[in-house]
Amino acid sequence: MRLGLVIDLDVCVGCHACAIACKEWNASGTTGPLSDYQPYGAEPSGVWFNRIRHYEMDEYPNNKTVNFPMSCNHCEDAECVTVCPTGASYKRAEDGIVLVDQDKCMGCNYCSWACPYGARELDRSSGTMKKCTLCVDRIYDMELPVEERQPSCVLTCPAHARMFGDFDDPDSAVSRTVRERGGFGLMPELNYNPTNQYLPPRSKPVIPIEAHPRGGLKESIKQFANKLVRR
């Protein structure tokens, strides 16, 4: 199995609900807590597994706002695991999920240097590295109804911009969607082979920018008369 996410950049509305749901679930999950620093102070900051950034593509009138959620890509060639000196970072053989063993991590930050996607954040209060677990403590939970055995972010997204599934299965919904919509991984040139795939924004026809020519008084009267009189 190769579990991961599909994120639809055409659909995401940038509401940050996935990040909030992620924080809510994982704060009490296997790698919790996710510490906050000065949550109500002047400089609020803290640990998040999922962050949403906002970009603008192209120039007016072809411009488009792209909301961009990012979390761990559970890379096939995860250098973050290779460089970890303690063995705290590991990639599970059975489903490809990349995790950090909180009991082994020494907080050297080295893995975060190796990650191109900014997916790893050090928790200052525990002194250990934290990252997206793909809700490993939820997707296998037999106590939950089948449809809820998905990562929190996927379940919560109000726009249905996120999908979860197995990329090793060519007939899974995620594999099919990626094929049909031309999904891509980020920064392919670094060869990390990220599992998560992004669906590109669809091209839409440009909304014409020339103002509709408005006639003078004579034209208006003519239009008004045309509305009244049926020929």
Smallest CA-to-CA distance from 23 within 13, 34, 31, 14 is with 34
Distance CA 50, CA 21 (A): 10
Q: Does 171 help bind another protein (rule: CB under 8 A)?
A: no
Binder of residue 32, out of another protein, ligand SF4, none (CB less than 5 to 8 A by kind): none
Question: Which of another protein, ligand SF4, none sits in contact with 73, Cβ below 5 to 8 A by type?
Answer: ligand SF4
Q: Map residues 124-143 to x or -, x wherever contact with another protein holds by CB under 8 A.
A: x-xxx---------------
Residue 5 binds another protein, judged by CB under 8 A = no
DSSP assignment of 132-146: --TTHHHHT-TTS-G
Among 24, 28, 57, 144, binds another protein (CB under 8 A): 57
What does 66 interact with, of another protein, ligand SF4, none (CB < 5 to 8 A by kind)?
another protein
The residue among 30 and 65 lying less far from another protein, judged by its C-beta, is 65
Cβ neighbours for 207, distance < 8 A, ≥ 6 positions apart: 61
Q: According to the binding rule CB under 8 A, does residue 117 interact with another protein? A: yes
Q: What is the C-alpha separation between 87 and 92, in angstroms, rounded?
A: 13
Identify which of 51, 99, 72 has the alpha carbon closest to the alpha carbon of residue 5. 72
| 156: number of Cβ within 10 Å | 18
Contacting positions for ligand SF4 (CB under 6 A): 72-75, 78-80, 84, 86, 88-89, 98, 100, 105-111, 115, 117, 119-120, 129, 131, 192
